[in-house]
Amino acid sequence: MNRFSRTAALLALCSLLWLITARPAEAADARRRPNVLFIAIDDQNDWVGCLKGHPLVKTPHIDALAARGTLMTNAHCQAPLCNPSRTSLMLGLRPSTTGIHGLEPWFRNVPEFRDRVALPQYFAANGYQTLSTGKLYHSARRDPPQGKLAPEFQVWGPAGGFGTRPPMRLTPPTPQGNPLVDWGVWPLDNDDSSKGDTQITDWAIERLRGPASDQPFFLGVGYFLPHVPCYATQKWFDLYPDDDSVLPLIQPNDRDDTPRSSWYLHWQLPEVRLKWLQQHNQWRNIVRSYLACTSFVDSQVGRLLQTLDGTGQRDNTIIVLWGDHGWHLGEKEITGKNTLWDRGTRVPLIWAGPGITPGQTCGRPAELLDIFSTLIDLCGLPARDDLEGISLAPQLKDASASRERPAITSHNQGNFGIRTEKWRYIRYADGAEELYDMQTDPHEWINLASTRRGVCADLAKWIPKRDAGPAPGSAHRILTHYDKTPIWEGKPIQPMDEIPD
Ligand SMILES: [Ca+2]
Ligand SMILES: [Ca+2]
């Protein structure tokens, strides 16, 4: 054997030894990793007890989770709409990077992201069993295109959703005529078993109680309510007084000092305006319905957490609970999402489990985008350099740990919100601005942009350099500009057009 072939033989032997020894070691590493319980709540704003977004809301189980973990009190979505928010979280990229701003496209249909390893896939690649039930992505897309890619999750439970529908809508027809925009008491028999959110909890509970796997689990449970239609059974309504004490605080003519372009982000929505709610005597009803749905979902979160405790896995499971964006219930004259104010961007973000200090609240800005990087950090997975989030592990250990970057939200090209501990700054595509001092004006009533020019200029520096236009196939809630004319879902908005009801 010459020297070259001896070296080659030695290398081959080393490779073989590595294969024999490294694989079991990796498997052992994976076995030691904590489980992940990943809980999403659709359209859940900060009307959660521990976040103090509504003085009367009752969410005892979510509050108990916050008490045993770290509550991020200044957490914000990256886009105030389901698909772009969830795509950003699962890919670890901003909507201003991907161009996914609307309810379409599904990101796997965009060539640039077809093969990108998303959050659950990264856990699967690192030895986890990944399971999904309910709404985690905007749509339950299970099959990889052309059957070539790894599936988004390995095990799929029920898709969930809002459950059964009453024989006819419970509220008067809305201007946009969308059947989902409805709310009230349903089903009438006070039985929650037909609710999609009950069924996904049942399924997740069975998985938690099932035979232990030699792999850690990544279990995603995506609640649909309080997304519209806000149907809940009577017992959840009974938690709230049937009087105007439930209504959120608003300021009459609050939008006199917001730019006209603030309307372009939600020019025409299925969700109704405050004016419509007042004209039809529905404001209190929608608010109570939303609160009722929130308390119902909280009870399901409670069932899930109680089961986890019973399995003895609690101390070896990272729990992260998040909402995908906020929701207006009359504030700033609208209902729904698609805004860059705190009401549209602030979300629950709660962490508990190994490596997380219990009983903390942290007011540092946090982004849903950070969840991917944080989970990698907490579970000891190999770091990735292609994610735009920043691990929150330092704050989860010590809530006072510093963090420089504000929370950044965008909605369609050119529109950004920047949230620090003190300020909310908004800049729209036409250059119009808003600035609120969140410490003295938490309801964002007084726009200071014209007087505090230096603060605006400082905050504007955080606007991302990359500001992608809509990805191919974009649709629904898409705002673009042609020359200087705003185009809402393909139709130009003229300067004298009245703001639609
Ligand atoms: Ca949503
Ligand atoms: Ca105002």
- pLDDT class for 327, splitting at 50, 70, 90? very high
pLDDT at residue number 213: 86
Residues 439-487 pLDDT 10s: 999 999 999 999 999 999 999 999 999 999 999 999 999 999 999 999 9
Cα R_g (the chain), whole angstroms: 24
Quick one: which ligand is closest to 446's CA? Answer: 2
pLDDT at residue 359 greater than cutoff 90: yes
- The Cα–Cα gap between 11 and 13 comes to 5
Taking a C-beta distance cutoff of 8 angstroms, is the pair 58, 288 a contact?
no
Amino acid letter at 199? Q
- Above 80 in pLDDT, residue 143? no
Q: Is residue 359 part of a domain?
A: yes
Residue 131: which residues within 8 A CB-CB, separation 6 or more? 153, 154, 155, 156, 157, 204, 207, 217, 218, 219, 220
Q: Can you give the residue range of the structural domain that contains 150?
A: 32-401
pLDDT at 146 over 70: no
Reported in sequence order, the residue ranges of 354-397 that DSSP labels E, i.e. its strands, are: 360-362, 366-367
Per-residue confidence (pLDDT) for residue 212, from 0 to 100: 82
Query: Active site includes 328?
Result: no
For residue 250, give every residue at least 6 positions away whose Cβ sits within 8 Å of its Cβ, in sequence order, or none.
Answer: 274, 330, 331, 332, 333, 443
Pairing of strands 485-488, 479-482: antiparallel
Of residues 8 and 343, the one with the higher pLDDT is 343
Q: Which of 138, 227, 266, 325 is catalytic?
A: 138
Provide the pLDDT confidence category of residue 138 given band limits of 50, 70 and 90.
confident
Strand (E) or helix (H) holding 223? strand 217-223
Measured in Å, residue 433 CA sits from the centre of ligand 2 at 13
User: Is 231 domain-assigned?
Assistant: yes
Span 48-104, pLDDT tens digits: 999 999 999 999 999 999 999 999 999 999 999 999 999 999 999 999 999 999 999
CB 350 within 8 A of CB 320: yes
Ligand 1 centroid – CA 450 distance (Å): 33
- pTM across the whole model: 0.94
91 occurs within a structural domain: yes
Question: Which residue's structure tokens are 């906020």?
Answer: 326
Identify the nearest ligand to the CA of 253 by its number: 2
Give the ligand with the smallest distance to the CA of 44: 1
Predicted confidence at residue 32, as pLDDT, reads: 85
Nearest ligand to residue 336 Cα: 1
Residue 446 CA to ligand 2 centre (angstroms)? 5
* Cα-to-centroid distance, 412 and ligand 1 (Å): 16
> Residue 393: what pLDDT?
98
Query: Quick check: is 201 in a domain?
Result: yes
Q: Could you tell me what percent of the chain has a pLDDT over 70? A: 92
**343 CA to centre of ligand 2 in angstroms:** 14
- Among all bound ligands, the one having the nearest atom to the CA of 326 is 1
**Distance (Å, rounded) from C-alpha 427 to C-alpha 176?**
28
Q: Does 480 reside within a domain?
A: no
The span from the CA of 372 to the CA of 381, in Å, is 11
> One of 50, 77, 82, 456 is an active-site residue; which one?
82
Task: Read off the pLDDT of residues 281-325 as tens digits, 9 standing for 90 and up.
Answer: 999 999 999 999 999 999 999 999 999 999 999 999 999 999 999
Can you state the percent helix, strand and coil of the chain, rounding each to 5?
35, 15, 50
Residue 116, pLDDT > 80, answer yes
Residue 421's pLDDT band (boundaries 50, 70, 90)? very high
Higher pLDDT, 234 or 1: 234
Whether omega for the bond prior to residue 464 falls within 30 degrees of 0, making it cis, is no
Nearest ligand, CA 447: 2
Q: Is 174 part of a structural domain of the chain?
A: yes
N-to-C CA span, the chain: 86
**Quick check: 222 pLDDT over 50?**
yes
pLDDT of the residue at 150: 76
List the CATH number of the domain containing 249: 3.40.720.10
In this prediction, residues 148-152 reach a mean pLDDT of 77
Q: Which two tokens stand for residue 38?
A: 């990943």
Ligand 2 center to 250 CA (angstroms): 10
Please tell me the distance between residue 182's alpha carbon and the centre of ligand 2 in angstroms. 28
Position 30 confidence tier, pLDDT thresholds 50, 70, 90: confident
Residue 437 alpha carbon to ligand 2 centre in Å: 12
pLDDT at residue number 374: 98
**H-helix segments, 228-282:** 234-237, 261-264, 274-279
- Spatial distance between the Cα atoms of 22 and 230, rounded to a whole number of angstroms: 52
Cβ < 5 A residues, ion ligand 2: 254, 257, 445
Number of domains the chain is built from: 1
Give me the pLDDT at residue 105, please: 95
Residues 473, 141, 101, 227, CA torsion sign: positive
Encoded tokens for 172: 């008067």
Residue 37 C-alpha from the chain's centroid = 15
* CB-facing half-sphere around the CA of 26: CA atoms within 13 A: 12
pLDDT surpassing 60 at residue 18: no
**Is residue 283 in a domain?**
yes
Yes or no: say if 174 and 276 are a contact pair by the CB < 8 Å rule: yes
Distance 407 CA to ligand 2 centre (A): 22
pLDDT of 11 reads 41
As residues whose CB is below 5 A from the ion ligand 1, the structure lists: 42-43, 82, 324
238 within some domain: yes
The encoded tokens of residue 254 equal: 């609050």
Look over the chain and give the mean of its residue pLDDT values, rounded to a whole number. Answer: 93
Mean pLDDT of 384-397: 98
Residues 249-285 have pLDDT tens digits of 999 999 999 999 999 999 999 999 999 999 999 999 9
**pLDDT score of 20 more than 50:** no
Please say if the pLDDT value at position 148 is more than 80: no
Interatomic CA distance for residues 284 and 290, integer angstroms: 10
Contacts (Cβ under 8 Å, ≥6 apart) of 45: 53, 323, 325, 326, 327, 343, 346, 347
Q: What is the pLDDT of residue 13?
A: 42
Residue 230 annotated as catalytic: no
- SS3 category, 410: strand
CA of 257 to the centre of ligand 2 (A): 5
SS3 342: helix
Q: How far apart are CA 467 and CA 129, in angstroms?
A: 36
